[in-house]
Amino acid sequence: MSAAPETTPEVADLDLAADQAIAVCGGDARETVKALLVANDFLERQLDELRPKVSTGYARGRFDRSRDRKE
């Protein structure tokens, strides 16, 4: 039994994606984090825009409609 944890394909893919993101940002980890925060904010805004458009039946009640209502 080895002391190192086993690397699953999911972990390897995540490590590869992290390495690629850092490389795209010129090796600057701080710039990479900032880029990821901007991307995350963009995706959250898309969700906020699309969530009210999904019917309750289709979503099977996964979303709290009272939270989405604007008064």
Q: pLDDT by residue (tens digit) across 7-41?
A: 788 889 999 999 999 999 999 999 999 999 999 99
Whether residue 63 is contained in a domain is answered as yes
Q: Are 25 and 35 in contact (CB under 8 A)?
A: yes
Whether residue 30 is contained in a domain is answered as yes
Whether residue 4 is contained in a domain is answered as no
Question: How many domains are there within the chain?
Answer: 1
Whether residue 1 is contained in a domain is answered as no
- Compare 28 and 64 and report the one with higher pLDDT: 28
Sign of CA dihedral 13, 15, 17, 23: negative
pLDDT, residue 7, reads 76
Name the residue range of residue 41's domain.
9-68
Whether residue 2 is contained in a domain is answered as no
